[in-house]
Amino acid sequence: MSAYGQNPQPFAPAPTGGAAANPIIKNLLLAGIGGSALALLGSFLAWTSVDVEGTSDTVSGLDGDGMFTLITSLLALGLLAFGLVKQNLMAAAGSIVPSLVTLVFGVLNFLDPEKLARTYVEDETGGELSGEQLDGFMEGIDFSSSFGVWIVVLGSLVAVAAAGVLATKARAPQQ
């Protein structure tokens, strides 16, 4: 029996709302952070494998567009971490822009591994080779995408997907 004015239901704390209250949103934020961190790591690694007459070497992402993916993935990582800590879904959803930029650079370098090697050779020779000389030099060389660019593409895909879902959650009316 309950006395007058007392609630017979046990005390339950009020829900706190925000990103931390919803485990799905928290997991999306963590997935986005993980994907951005993966893309950040991949920016430092080898992007192009170069094989010349039985000798192979690699070219780092930072010798080309990897500097852009480093900056954009760091920006996305910061926005997602801010969204997690401050429970701000709009900031986290904003990470989709730098994540998309990272993805575009990663895919372009994945599809054209010769681009990074060409840039590297131009930088090393100080631009002394003409376009025809550079084409002749690069003719007998085999190029392939290396693991670093794969990691950038994979990480940025995860970050874009997580940020896209977070953007739809941020736009949805709160209940």
Three-class SS state of 98: helix
Sorted by where each starts, the structural domains of the chain and their CATH numbers stand as 19-171 (1.20.140)
DSSP, res 108: H
Each residue's pLDDT tens digit, 35-68: 999 999 999 999 888 887 888 888 888 988 899 9
Instruction: Convert 10-29 to b/e letters by CB count within 10 Å (16 or more is b).
Output: eeeeeeeeebeebeebeebb
- Tell me what pLDDT residue 158 has: 97
Each residue's pLDDT tens digit, 131-163: 787 777 778 788 888 999 999 999 999 999 999
pTM for this structure? 0.80
